[in-house]
Structure 1
Amino acid sequence: MIEPHKPSWRKPAGMFMILGLIALWAFIIGSFSRQIGGLPGWAQIPIYVVSGIVWIAPLKPLLLWMETGRWRI
């Protein structure tokens, strides 16, 4: 007899980790808002573009863990 598929706890846990990562990153970037806000507009744009992309880097191993239970391929 085939056992029914049991949902993994990793997906909800990973979802909360992703939300926590976003909140932490927003807090870190927000804590520098006074320094960044003092820069000219042309200098702020690359800072916010890069900081808006960099937070995605830790998601690949986290998503892999959510799907497979392993941190590396």
Structure 2
Amino acid sequence: MRTEPTWRIPVGILGLCAALTVYSILIAIFVPPLIEAWHNIAQMLVYLILGIVWLLPLRNFLIWMETGRWG
């Protein structure tokens, strides 16, 4: 266990916030015109999948924040 603070945690949190902001803006701009004619249930599934996709690289990112190693 770590006994002293590291620069990776605050930088990682700021990077995560910035990446999620960019991701959400891109989704909000580009996805609605593509799926606006779809049924509501299909639109809901697309947004559900896109809401989960950002979690995939999060494990490795959190490991980097804690240990300094990727993965």
Q: Gapped runs of 5+ residues in structure 1?
A: none
- Tell me which structure has the larger Cα radius of gyration: 1
Identity %: 35
- SS of equivalent residue, structure 2 residue 5: coil
Provide runs of 4+ in structure 1 moved above 3 Å.
none
Mapped to 1, the partners of 2:11 and 2:18 lie a distance apart of 10
Q: Cα RMSD over matched residues?
A: 1.3
Structure 2 residue aligned with 1:69: 68
Tell me how many residue pairs correspond in the alignment: 68
Structure 2 residue aligned with 1:7: 5
Q: Gapped runs of 5+ residues in structure 2?
A: none
Structure 1 residue aligned with 2:14: 16
TM-score by length of 1: 0.82
TM-score by length of 2: 0.84
Deviations 1:9-46 (A, max 9, x none): 00000001111121121022112222222322021011
Please state how far the C-alpha of 1:54 moved relative to its aligned partner. 0.4
Counterpart of 2:67, as a letter, is T
Structure 2 residue aligned with 1:28: 26
